[in-house]
Structure 1
């Protein structure tokens, strides 16, 4: 190529670059011939991917930027919404477009178009501009579909059976309807709910993969309905559908064997809407034309299990060829009030499968299967026996000292599956309307071999994606993290229960508030808690008192306990921090105010020393130590939480711009703290209850003036040392103790607590073979005996609240309260506890955050991932003067700014991307604080 040719080519290349740059500025990246390292993915609407039952008037849309470039921020976005997926990509049939919006907001962006109508399906996509003057291609097309927004959208009638035997603990009714579809089907959606729990079929196939629908809400005020796309299950011509109902939470047994809490009769509401290719519609609704019969499920209960008699099966009962000549008519119930809402939280689904670890005979002669994991769900079997033979399955969490099957801690819950074989063919069976908490299975009535070919345990829990991972160089700590996660899985079954095995299984508010922040690290619980908090508001008393459990199934006086009812303020704030969800504060703000208002009305001179409180539930109360004084004054705790709820209300008010409330409650908070000091603290800063919990709450909630805080922290440390570096806190002190120690420069003591292996400690259950978190520090005592079986759950997540400290301090992943949801990130790991490494990942609404550190012969390495459209402040512990990133001095890395020393640490700001820091670490004192 000669010089002239080269010159012409160069001119053409320059011209092309100019043109491409101009097109980028105008938003035409899709016409570029060169790829841009920027795209948009992970589109969600109201925390869901392609939801089909949205009832928000203006749904919120979120997306993630995908790029491998560093320091990428969104500077603008454009959303377009259309009525057809193909047309949308051609910019046709547009319902609404945001236009180019100059904003870095990529989460919770409100739809701003015309009013949406029931059943309306909206297709949407988005593109973004970044801070490098690049524009992404349009994203893939996602959609959302509106639910039934008006009561008049329902043409279906509530139907019930007419049997006198329709009572709690009785057989499950089966409802059936045959129908004809005259034309070719374009789309079909089933809208369905029940009083009780349901399982639907169409033409012999199960509808959906949800369990225990419609889920548990405050049924008399909020009843969810589910929507399913059932197009593939239907055909032109003859069709049939069937629905089986179980007692569930609606009328099944609850605490103290109370039943019929919401009603005595099961009922079904069913509306199948079919759209033909010719545009016509047909609706098949529950009405008097349906038929009902009893079948093989003779009883079902969350507490007691299920009795299934296969001899009473009605083969093909949900298929069009079945003849229901002996089935009975149904009755409609016009008195059932309208309180239907679309499903907002995640439904319960089947997840992990566990095969038998071993099968053995106990000393008492029982045949027992060990699945190796304390889980919540059920056992599926594939067995062969004779007609009329009965097999019984019993479930337990642990074996006793002698290795025998132990169920005393279940109290009155049976957790029993009874199955009667109909013939000698091989049968595959799993339960329907029940779940068990167990690791061990006792099999009675079956003599054949039991192994991985015919037995499997399945975990069931709300469909929350795992967002967090945490591990260290210490296997015991890793098992602790495993136990925390499985405690969450087993107790997040539509509501945050206290335990999944005994006769309780309620949404205890104290457990939920203690664990909520940890829960946000492990799994995506945004929709889960948002849904549950709406029921809290619904069941909150008119005077502002919050019941002990949500949904409330207790009596009217079981409400307003400190540390329990404060979930009304604590949980919304934690969800806001984790997901940047301002709407949850708006949704719960009046509830927050009402709870603080209740305390105000029951306080005297700003001192809340009335009412019944649980106190620091299940604190260490042993006698093995000389002191043994771990009992914290309940009214002191109440006053501390009064202040905390008021403080969170102030914070929420600031976020929402409620300046008058902020001023009002700031004055209230001042007086609450003043009353606390006068009543519970000596002039020298000594608490009247000299316990770990009293000092933890006082310090964590800033109840003490600054000049007394350091001395109080030292008193806390001395208390811990007096107990040989053991923890003595209960449900209310435990979530905060390590955070308080780290905040006041005692991270080494926090590590000592974490690493302790003897009772009471987090690792004591781990050393004793736990695979979930125990309710008590000593559920199994050092001598192998059990605590009081009346209250001794081995799957109780409250003490798992240490997970929050593990993520935020050991790994050092946190969010900025002023810019929450991990839009502004803090990476500040704190090594200690003789750990040589620790790493954590968190999938945020912006993408993956990672912090992974290791220490090798004094060399400290930190690997960091910051997702696009976020920034991070990194705090490197105990630094020398030489820090490298990617092998070069950090002062020469353009993506690292604001470098400065902070004590022994180095602080800096970074944009998105992957970073690799290395330096020689200094040591100070016992551990690196």
Structure 2
């Protein structure tokens, strides 16, 4: 055998977290990547070495070609275990790689009954949700071999040992469905302990535990009024003895420290005069601090935390001030140039007791801070100066903002001063970035970047709807539609698998119904709601498709079945989901500002389509997991429900009785109709989009699927126009208005710069950003052909208006790439296939092939039809003008020049058909319109004249 190999093992990891090799189960699954210069490299076998070069070394040989989600090949791990792990592989060519660099695998779970720490809090706090400090000391008589801190909270906290934070995570332990499930961290603190006296201190605040949830003045605490923390420190000394320190009544705590008040929605008041030097160091005099109060003992239901399986929230970026604005009212506002989620770090020197006030908002409205969308959330921090050099950063709150209004600054806050003194600290769950996209249109690139920022800001411990107002809840409908995009942009497997455990727990408490928000903290929304509760079936399926996460699918399968059974109970014998409250196609652009559910698509049509969809997914899950009886039962119900939908809601000619873009997109993408009807519905959908002037007509339900519905039925040209439209409503409208995240409404900000009058308006909502998944899979052309990208599908669909598009995605097997460039009537298609994978390639024009790993390139004729521009006159039909992007923009610009009122009249036109001419439409406009339009059309036609050569 040839042992010299151009092949090496790259990243070895323990699934699922991406920020370290933590084993949350005794039998974790393993993955590794391979780097090889050998084209078509394929694994023949692998060896896994545990504790190489140490006593007890073990090697497992695997006669397998799989390198992702590999079952643990050794005896189950024990609690507190620490091991090194290495991998080497042999290719089918017989070449053997070197051993990989070792990674340290650390158990983060405890044995049954081993958690003994009670949750403790401040004794007799003067009012609800009071922040404070807690502490205890531990004397160690020998050097520390290794030590692990297990800790959790009803609230948010950070631990200090001997004056140093134990890690960089913030807002620990995050938000889960606390009444059902609390998680603990397991932090290696060996380096922070020393022989002799040691001190453990906890900074504690209420966070989500004490927050008031609800709307319209009815908000109230849901979990509890006071925070509490549980700490269990395991120390193994060099002599082999073990010491355990736990929270208990011997701890002391006080309402003291710089954080005076703190709330997720309200913000934080920090008083630097209240600093307590040395409070987390040994020997601190805490005699005046009272003993803590025990809140929850470990023998009480739900009091034992489970190991966290997802990455914590951390500081992931920092932004500097881009501009200092003086508003019309004379206020000072800092602009960071990007809508973000986090808080400000402020370095300042001023007189003792001076208060600096920071107010945060996402937009300016008429030059002033736009705070109306925040509703009851104050989103305000108050900083009280000590009189010396102070550094402030709110710790237990966060804000969604691009702009920060500063009041009380000592001296003049110029741009140079602001850049030195104020930094925006971006926080997010610390997931690994895995997906990128780039094309020839910078507006689309900005749109994609907005999607990235929207996800980053709303993936803070759980998938929220928005990060700024008095909400920030785990709305199930939002992540149901955005999950595929999320799984591409970041490795969100662990994050979503953790949240799904909350979904299952909330369902179990509600007879299988997945509520509209998880964790469920609202007094309404516990009845089934289509597209929201369907997250129970859709998100586990997404984790299977994108991450090959069968563990999550198996864990959630009872929850998936429970949701399907709950829907079948309401659907009855007709197998139609009718007559109940529904969000429907939420935020359809035609819905009134005060009625976001008022969509064109009938809510019963949407609900019954989702009934079929969830039954489809439960059927597929049953078959994947080997449940033959479940597969047969739900498969039969799927077909019966599909036939009921077709019978009730479609006509023989292929129309849906709700003649709306979303209705057809559902029928096509959910496979509700046969092939002939599907084609007819695709044609009708394309016609509806054209009639609307190539403007989007969908809400939360239709938007993520309309582009797939168009391209899969042969209307990529229509999808291209829909993507590149800049008028309202459209994806690029917000880009033209300066958006740096995805908006909740298509017109969250109106063209005149005023905020949408609706009571509910956010400028950071990721749902409409689900279009990015189509950009990745279809425009650039990179998709999974089998679970987890073991076989890729490279099938780019070049669209009109772009000259190139490319995407990169870091699969579990390595980096994959796909894209195309147009050159002189040809398309150059490129792909990179990682080692140990293959790719099915469908080239533009239809040629199909399969390739192995390596770099690949093909040149094919550009199939996009070149349309020669035609003369445009007042007698041109509105449909002809809509089909001609240059003419469309020229006409609208000419009418805009008459004034906003008249331009708005034409821009809001809903009937761009071939049955009406431009001249017909002029009756709605002032007499000057015809002359202005004629001038514009003459100019357009003259620019389009092609000179005759020779």
For the residues of structure 2 that align with 1:845 and 1:445, how far apart are their CA atoms?
51
Q: Corresponding residue for 1:414?
A: 378
User: Residue 403 in 1 paired to residue 367 in 2?
Assistant: yes
Residues 1:429 and 2:397 aligned together = no
Q: Does 1:62 align with 2:31?
A: yes
* Structure 2 CA distance for partners of 1:379 and 1:757, relative to 1, 3 Å: same
Q: Tell me the secondary structure at the aligned position of residue 86 of structure 2.
A: strand
- The equivalent residue for 1:916 is 857
Q: CA shift at 1:192, angstroms?
A: 0.8
TM-fit CA distance, 1:629: 10
Residue 137 of structure 2 contacts residue 199 of structure 2 at CA under 8 Å; is this kept in 1? yes
Counterpart Cα distance in 2 of 1:646 and 1:407: 43
Change (3 A) 1:925 1:803: same
CA drift of 1:76 comes to 1.1
* Mapping for residues 885-900 of structure 1, pairs under 5 Å: none
| Length, aligned pairs only | 854
The C-alpha deviation readout for 1:842-887, integer Å capped at 9, x for no partner, is 001000010131112223222211000000011221xxxxxxxxxx
Q: Which residue of 1 aligns with 2:260?
A: 298
| Aligned 1:403-802 pairs, distance under 5 A | 403-423=367-387, 425-448=388-411, 449=413, 450-540=417-507, 541-555=509-523, 557-604=525-572, 605-621=574-590, 631-802=600-771
Q: In the aligned structure 1, how far is the partner of 2:238 from the partner of 2:355? A: 50
Equivalent of 1:332 in 294, 310, 326: 294
Instruction: Summarize deviations over 1:25-60 as a string: whole Å, max 9, x none.
Output: xxxx4xxxxx41111121111223685753313110
Query: How far off is 1:334 after superposition?
Result: 5.2
Taking a change above 3 Å as real, the CA distance of residues 51 and 474 of structure 1, as seen in their structure-2 partners, is closer
State the shift of 1:822 in Å.
0.6
In structure 2, what is the Cα distance between the partners aligned to 1:759 and 1:443? 33
| 1:18 alignment counterpart | none
Q: Deviations over 1:639-685 (max 9, x none)?
A: 00000111111111221122221211121111111211221112222
Say if 1:755 and 1:833, in contact at 8 Å, map to a contact too: no
Instruction: Work out the CA distance in 1 between the residues paired with 2:478 and 2:560.
Output: 18
Once the two structures are TM-superposed, the CA of residue 630 in structure 1 deviates from its matched residue by: 5.7
2:210: which partner in 1? Answer: 251
1:362 equivalenced with 2:320 (yes/no): no
SS of alignment partner, residue 170 of structure 2: coil
Cα distance in structure 2, aligned partners of 1:192 and 1:392: 33
- More displaced stretch, 338-347 vs 325-334: 325-334
Separation in structure 2 between the aligned mates of residue 52 and residue 698 of structure 1, nearest angstrom: 43
Shift, 1:209, TM fit: 0.5
Which secondary structure does the structure 2 equivalent of 1:110 belong to? Answer: coil
Verify: 1:105 aligned to 2:66, yes or no.
Answer: yes
Residues 1:78 and 2:39 aligned together: no
Q: Is the 8 A contact 1:602 1:610 kept in 2?
A: no
Q: Indicate conservation of the 8 Å contact 2:149/2:189, yes or no.
A: yes
Output the CA distance in 1 between the equivalents of 2:180 and 2:678.
46
Note if contact 1:51-1:145 (Cα within 8 Å) is conserved in structure 2. Answer: no
Q: Does 1:320 align with 2:282?
A: yes
Mapped partners of 1:97, 1:110: distance in 2: 14
Q: Aligned partners of 1:552, 1:431: CA distance in 2, in Å?
A: 27
Secondary structure of the equivalent of 1:352?
strand
- Aligned-partner SS, 1:502: coil
Please report how far the alpha carbon of residue 66 of structure 1 lies from its aligned counterpart in structure 2 after TM superposition: 1.2
Alpha-carbon offset, residue 248 of structure 1:
1.1
Give the C-alpha shift of residue 259 in structure 1: 3.7
Change beyond 3 A, Cα 1:532–1:254: same
Describe the shift of the 1:629–1:44 C-alpha distance in structure 2 as closer, same or farther (beyond 3 A). closer
Corresponding residue to 1:377 among 335, 338, 342: 342
Aligned mate of 1:220, from 176, 179, 191: 179
Relative to 1, partners in 2 of residues 1:650 and 1:155: Cα closer, same or farther, differing over 3 Å?
A: closer
Q: Which moved more, 1:789-798 or 1:554-563?
A: 554-563
**Which residue of 2 is the match for residue 32 of structure 1?**
none
- CA gap of 1:150–1:559, structure 2 versus 1, over 3 A, is farther
State the alpha-carbon separation in 1 of the partners of residues 231 and 21 from structure 2. 16
What are the ranges of 5 or more consecutive residues in structure 2 without an aligned counterpart?
Answer: 869-950
Q: Please give the residue correspondences for 1:233-252 in structure 2 after superposition, counting only pairs within 5 Å.
A: 233-252=192-211
Alpha-carbon distance in 1 for matches of 2:806, 2:21: 37
- 1:478 Cα deviation from its structure 2 partner: 0.4
In structure 2, the CA distance between the partners of 1:52 and 1:276, relative to structure 1 (3 Å rule), is farther
Q: Distance in 2 between matches of 1:857 and 1:55?
A: 55
Contact residue 853 and residue 861 of structure 1 kept, 8 A? yes
Deviation at 1:925, TM superposition (A): 6.5
- Offset at residue 557 of structure 1 (A): 4.7
Tell me how far apart the structure 1 counterparts of residues 106 and 180 of structure 2 sit (CA, whole Å).
24
- The aligned residue for residue 914 of structure 2 is none
Tell me, in whole angstroms, the C-alpha distance in 1 between the residues paired with 2:232 and 2:385.
35
Give the gaps of 5 or more residues in structure 1. Answer: 1-20, 30-34, 878-903
Rounded to whole Å, the distance in 1 between the matches of 2:486 and 2:21 is 26
Instruction: Give the stretch that moved more between structures: 442-451 or 334-343.
Output: 334-343
DSSP 3-state at the match of 1:690: coil
Q: Which shows bigger deviation, 687-696 or 260-269?
A: 260-269
Does the aligned pair in 2 maintain the 1:569–1:649 contact within 8 Å? yes
Superposed CA deviations along residues 73-106 of structure 1, whole A, max 9, x for unmatched, are: 1111122323xx531xxxx513x5432x221111
Does 1:264 pair with 2:225?
yes
Distance 1:472 1:807, change over 3 A: same
The structural deviation recorded for 1:298 is 1.3
Deviations for 1:778-808, whole angstroms, at most 9, x for unmatched residues? 0111222221352110000000000010000
Structure 2 matches for 1:851-870, cutoff 5 A?
851-870=818-837
CA shift, 1:235, in A, is 1.7
The TM-score with structure 1 as length reference comes to 0.90
CA distance in 1, matches of 2:795, 2:842: 5
Hey, what's the Cα distance between the residues in 1 that align with 2:767 and 2:236? 49
What is the alpha-carbon distance in structure 2 between the residues aligned to residue 629 and residue 187 of structure 1? Answer: 60
Distance in structure 1 (CA, Å) of the matches to 2:464 and 2:234: 35
Shift of 1:622: 6.6
SS in 2 for 1:77: strand
The answer as to whether partners of 1:412 and 1:503 remain within 8 angstroms in 2 is yes
Which SS does the other structure have where 1:618 is aligned? coil
Instruction: Name the structure 1 match of 2:900.
Output: none
- Contact map agreement 1:348 1:460 (CA 8 A) in 2: yes
CA contact (8 A) 1:63 1:107 kept: yes
Query: How many Å separate the matches in 2 of 1:921 and 1:152?
Result: 66
Is 2:89 the counterpart of 1:128?
Answer: yes
Report the more deviating stretch, 796-805 or 916-925: 916-925
- 2:359 is aligned to 394
| Structure 1: distance between partners of 2:222 and 2:419 | 40
| Secondary structure of the corresponding residue to residue 643 of structure 1 | helix
SS at 2:847's partner residue? strand
SS in 2 for 1:376: strand
Which residue does the alignment assign to 1:10?
Answer: none
Q: Secondary structure at the match of 1:689?
A: coil
